[in-house]
Amino acid sequence: MRNRKARLTLCVGAIAVAAGFATPAHAQPTGPATALATVQAPADTTPAVYGRAAYLLDASTGKALLGRNADTRMPIASLTKTMTAYVVLQSAKPTDMVEITPEDVRYAVNGGGTSAYLRAGDRLPVKELLYGLMLPSGADAAHALARAYGPGVPGFVAKMNDTARRLGMTDTEYVNADGLPMPGGDGHSTARDQALLGVKALENPLLKQVTATRRHTVEQTADHRSYTWTNTNKLLGAPGALGLKTGFTRAAGFSLAFAGERDGRLLVGVLLGETVSSRRFDTARTLLEWGARQA
């Protein structure tokens, strides 16, 4: 058992989970997924959880309700964009305008990433770009924001890593603002670190609003065309669900950072390395219901 304290505005006390068996940081899941056991209660009282790593935190008390391989480093794909949004709002105002460049558009297309289908020459407020970043998981929006608030993407990535250290995310290293694979190697994080980030991100009212939005439309103005974005997070719609972020690459598998509010409690969870896309949302829904019943 490994204990570690993290200072969080919403959390008090120590967060403790079982480390589980070691897994190579960049190994891909192979074969059928196996259920993960909780560390807080007998296995027959907990829901089945699949994938390579899982973590569920009661952020209102700082108590870890479930964990397996919570400190194993692995790629996290587009969960990276939660840090991008968080860092942007450390210095940007929601009303700040960012002009989309051809480079931003090409980056998403050439990198094979998901896109918000931004158009070069459009000028959009930071608030709207956050919806483009978090709902359809736009790599073009990530590149535009990182370029504007680094300044430059390398400078922005340095800010992401500095922020991770400040938040106590000691097992996290970012290499870009979107989580796409890089020639020099992917970044990495852990289920525990991403839960810590989720708690901090949800302290920001705008980010909390964005991540809980199922569909968002931007009306056309003289500065930009109209856009409509649908959230990739199918957990939304469940009672109290706040969303957070989805992710997928071949190396990372299917990932999900999720949160929910129940009876005045904030639960934050992370699933990494799932092999079935839809199952992560069912698992998260079940974990939120189960977690709400834990003392």
Stated as kind and residue range, the H or E segment containing 193 is helix 191-202
Instruction: Please report where in the chains the tokens 């998403």 appear, as a residue.
Output: 108
Note whether residue 68 is domain-resident: yes
Note whether residue 183 is domain-resident: yes
**pLDDT confidence of residue 210:** 98
Residues in the chain with pLDDT values less than 50: 1-44
Judge whether 226 and 243 are in contact, CB under 8 Å. no
Q: Which of 137, 234, 245, 255 is catalytic?
A: 137
Q: What confidence tens digit (pLDDT) does each residue in 47-76 have?
A: 899 999 999 999 999 999 999 999 999 999
Note whether residue 57 is domain-resident: yes
Active site residue 277: no
Q: Which domain holds residue 285?
A: 2-21+35-292
Ranges assigned E (strand) in the chain: 2-5, 14-17, 53-58, 63-68, 97-99, 123-125, 215-218, 227-230, 241-249, 253-262, 265-274
Supply the CATH number for residue 101's domain.
Answer: 3.40.710.10
Task: Give me the phi and psi of 108, to 5 degrees please.
Answer: -70, -40
**pLDDT confidence of residue 251:** 95
Instruction: Please report where in the chains the tokens 């992710």 appear, as a residue.
Output: 247
> How many domains are contained in the chain?
1
**pLDDT confidence of residue 38:** 39
**pLDDT confidence of residue 3:** 42
Active site residue 255: no
**pLDDT confidence of residue 178:** 98
**pLDDT confidence of residue 20:** 32
DSSP assignment of 74-116: B--GGGHHHHHHHHHHHH--TT-EEE--HHHHHHHHHHT----
Does a cis peptide bond (omega within 30 degrees of 0) precede residue 29?
no
Note whether residue 278 is domain-resident: yes
Q: Which amino acid is at 267?
A: L
Note whether residue 246 is domain-resident: yes
> Torsion angle, CA of 165/87/173/144, rounded to 10 degrees?
-160
Note whether residue 27 is domain-resident: no
Judge whether 84 and 282 are in contact, CB under 8 Å. no
How big is the chain, counted in residues? 295
Residue 199 is encoded by which pair of tokens? 């708690």
Q: Which of 60, 63, 81, 189 is catalytic?
A: 81
**pLDDT confidence of residue 264:** 87
Q: Which amino acid is at 211?
A: T
pTM of the full structure: 0.85
- Separation of alpha carbons 215 and 75, rounded Å: 27
The contacts of residue 291 (CB under 8 Å, 6+ apart) are 56, 58, 65, 66, 262, 267, 269
Q: Number of helices (H) and strands (E) in the chain: give both, helices first.
A: 8, 11
Residue 107 is encoded by which pair of tokens? 């980056």
Note whether residue 28 is domain-resident: no
Q: Which of 60, 63, 78, 115 is catalytic?
A: 78
Note whether residue 107 is domain-resident: yes
The contacts of residue 68 (CB under 8 Å, 6+ apart) are 17, 18, 20, 36, 37, 38, 39, 49, 53, 54, 55
The contacts of residue 247 (CB under 8 Å, 6+ apart) are 76, 77, 78, 79, 80, 137, 179, 254, 255, 256
Active site residue 60: no
